Amino acid sequence: MATKKQQRRKYQRARAHARLHEDDESAEPRDDTKEKRKPAPKARGSRQPARPTWTRSARRAAIFAAGLFLFVLLAPLGGTKPTPLAAAFQAAMFFVFLVPFGYLTDGFIYNRWLKRQQG
Q: Is 116 or 66 the better-scoring residue by pLDDT?
A: 66
- What does the pLDDT read at residue 80? 84
- What does the pLDDT read at residue 34? 56
Residue 47's alpha-carbon distances to 75, 104, 107, 111, in angstroms, are 38, 20, 16, 14
pTM: 0.58
d(C-alpha 53, C-alpha 102), whole Å: 10
Q: Is 105 or 34 the better-scoring residue by pLDDT?
A: 105
Per-residue model confidence as pLDDT tens digits over 63-111? 999 999 999 998 878 888 889 999 999 999 999 999 999 999 999 999 9
Tell me which amino acid residue 5 is. K
Residue 37's closest CA among 16, 59, 62? 16
